[in-house]
Amino acid sequence: MTEISFNEVQKAIREKIAGILEKNEEDLDVEASFSDLGLSSVKAVEVVADLEDSYDLVLPPTLFYDHPNISSAAGFIARCLADRTEHGGAP
């Protein structure tokens, strides 16, 4: 299994949020809070579900509350992916 980098995860999150909010990726500050970006809790649940499907992970429903910006959420997911790779690929 190929290791997925923090930058790849961060880009994927930006793409998903930009699509939902109908904004350009470049306009989304990775350090801004999800609420400041205009992401509602309903839309946040959608993004988390998409990320679970994309990475074959089970993510906490509170992901965007516990990690309140793109950068922080990407770091958490990248660590989960690295742990999975380290432990033989089990989700």
**Does the structure show a pLDDT above 70 at 1?**
no
Q: What is the 3-state secondary structure (H, E, C) of 9-73?
A: HHHHHHHHHHHHHCCCHHHCCCCCEHHHHCCCHHHHHHHHHHHHHHHCCCCCCCHHHHCCEHHHH
Q: What is the pLDDT of residue 14?
A: 97
Q: What is the pLDDT of residue 73?
A: 98
pTM for the whole structure: 0.90
How do residues 30-57 score in pLDDT, each as one tens digit?
999 999 999 999 999 999 999 999 999 9
Higher-confidence residue: 31 or 61? 31
Q: What is the pLDDT of residue 86?
A: 76
Go through the domains of the chain in sequence order and give each one's CATH number.
6-86 (1.10.1200.10)
